């Protein structure tokens, strides 16, 4: 069946990609698939410095139906590539991988990362074979962690004077951007965060913060819900250095699970590097458990 490839073209494509991801999650087995929250977070904040048309490529059949897509992360030389289950192992994947390598190589000329990398489910034999045939090699593991939200969720224990609540409105964009930057030792990007707050899928009531007695935000957890599969996700999660080892990260996660459960989610997931001992210890402290490994497959270019 013929297919065409084209760049991302706006809101309608975001809606179609979200539908594609929810349908994929309901049918996949031993295949890594992005959560709908990943898509919004990456396009609306993490990759906001790039034109979406330069980092998202769509594949469609002769009827204009989405058959796959590529999302590039140029600063990291990273990519996500997904196709319909029935098109895995076909020429479509080969062509999409070729597009990915060509375009990430172009970004390299602009001074970005010199490696190509992607995450693969540990039992995804088809994708592993494709990548190895193109020179990729297995690297570091990531943990796909999950927790049922039908089990009891304990209440958070906070230091005196601290509270956990959701972000109220765009007037808190500066404070919210500041704690995000502090947690990841990055520049504060207030306007970018304000724009992110206007993105489809972002909900103030699922953007949670731990607030110090003096009003500063000390920790945060942004929550996402796939309403079709009733799966929540944490992305991103962090604590400012001045507020670590106070239980604030655990507190925002527990409140996040409560809120996602109220919104209809039945489970929650997070993906974390296995080497990040503190991070997966935090997630395990609220009941998330590893379900399987994802491995980085990389090659130089």
Alpha helices in 157-247 (DSSP H): 173-184, 190-196
Taking the C-alpha atoms of residue 88 and residue 73, their distance in angstroms, rounded to an integer, is: 22
- The whole-number pLDDT of residue 88 equals 93
Confidence class for position 113, pLDDT limits 50, 70, 90: low
- The whole-number pLDDT of residue 92 equals 94
Taking the C-alpha atoms of residue 210 and residue 250, their distance in angstroms, rounded to an integer, is: 10
Taking the C-alpha atoms of residue 37 and residue 163, their distance in angstroms, rounded to an integer, is: 25
Look over the chain and give the mean of its residue pLDDT values, rounded to a whole number: 94
In a domain, 141, yes or no: no
**Of 165, 265, 276, 278, residue with least CA distance to 215:** 165
In a domain, 300, yes or no: no
- The whole-number pLDDT of residue 107 equals 84
In a domain, 32, yes or no: yes
**Of 255, 170, 248, 250, residue with least CA distance to 206:** 255
In a domain, 228, yes or no: yes
- The whole-number pLDDT of residue 109 equals 61
Taking the C-alpha atoms of residue 155 and residue 273, their distance in angstroms, rounded to an integer, is: 27
Q: What does the pLDDT look like over 245-263, one tens digit per residue?
A: 999 999 999 999 999 999 9
Domain end: 77, 101, 135, which one? Answer: 135
Taking the C-alpha atoms of residue 210 and residue 199, their distance in angstroms, rounded to an integer, is: 23
Do 153 and 28 belong together in one domain? no
In a domain, 15, yes or no: yes
* Mean pLDDT to the nearest integer, 198-219: 97
Q: Can you count the helices (H) and strands (E) in the chain? A: 9, 12
Tell me how many domains the chain contains. Answer: 2
- The whole-number pLDDT of residue 112 equals 52
Domain end: 113, 135, 157, which one? Answer: 135
Question: Are residues 212 and 164 in contact, defined by beta-carbon separation less than 8 angstroms?
Answer: no
* Mean pLDDT to the nearest integer, 190-214: 96
Do 116 and 223 belong together in one domain? no
Burial zone of 134 (CB within 10 Å; 0-12 exposed, 13-18 middle, 19+ buried): middle
- The whole-number pLDDT of residue 286 equals 98
In a domain, 298, yes or no: no
Cβ atoms < 10 Å from Cβ of 81:
20
In a domain, 119, yes or no: yes
Query: Which CATH number goes with the domain that contains 203?
Result: 3.40.630.30
Range of the domain at 86: 3-135
- The whole-number pLDDT of residue 115 equals 85
Do 44 and 156 belong together in one domain? no
Question: Tokens 């962090």 — which residue?
Answer: 238
pTM: 0.94
In a domain, 74, yes or no: yes
Do 163 and 130 belong together in one domain? no
Q: What does the pLDDT look like over 280-291, one tens digit per residue?
A: 899 999 999 999
Would you state the structure tokens that stand for residue 280, as one six-digit string? Answer: 């997966």
């Amino acid at each position: 069946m013929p297919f065409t490839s084209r760049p991302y073209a706006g809101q309608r494509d975001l809606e179609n990609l979200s539908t594609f991801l929810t349908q994929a999650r309901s049918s996949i087995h031993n295949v890594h698939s992005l959560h709908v929250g990943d898509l919004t977070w990456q396009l609306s904040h993490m990759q906001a410095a790039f034109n979406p048309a330069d980092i998202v490529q769509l594949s469609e059949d002769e009827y204009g139906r989405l058959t796959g897509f590529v999302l590039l992360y140029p600063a990291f030389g990273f990519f996500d590539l997904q196709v319909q289950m029935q098109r895995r192992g076909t020429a479509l994947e080969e062509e999409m991988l070729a597009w990915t390598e060509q375009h990430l190589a172009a970004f390299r000329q602009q001074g970005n990362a010199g490696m190509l990398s992607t995450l693969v489910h540990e039992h995804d034999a088809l994708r592993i074979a494709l990548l190895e045939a193109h020179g990729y090699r297995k690297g570091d593991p990531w943990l796909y962690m999950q927790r049922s939200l039908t089990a009891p969720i304990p209440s958070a224990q906070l230091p005196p004077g601290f509270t956990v609540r959701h972000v109220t409105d765009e007037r808190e964009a500066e404070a919210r951007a500041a704690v995000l930057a502090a947690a990841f030792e990055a520049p504060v990007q207030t306007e970018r965060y304000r724009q992110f707050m206007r993105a489809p899928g972002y909900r103030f009531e699922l953007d949670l913060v731990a607030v110090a007695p003096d009003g500063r935000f000390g920790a945060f957890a942004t929550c996402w819900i796939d309403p079709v599969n009733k799966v929540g996700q944490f992305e991103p999660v962090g604590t400012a250095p001045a507020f670590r080892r106070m239980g604030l990260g655990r507190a925002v996660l527990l409140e996040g699970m409560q809120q996602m459960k109220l919104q209809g989610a039945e489970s929650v997931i997070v993906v974390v590097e296995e080497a990040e001992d503190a991070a997966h210890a935090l997630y395990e402290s609220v009941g998330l458990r590893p379900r399987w490994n994802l491995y980085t497959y990389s090659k130089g270019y």
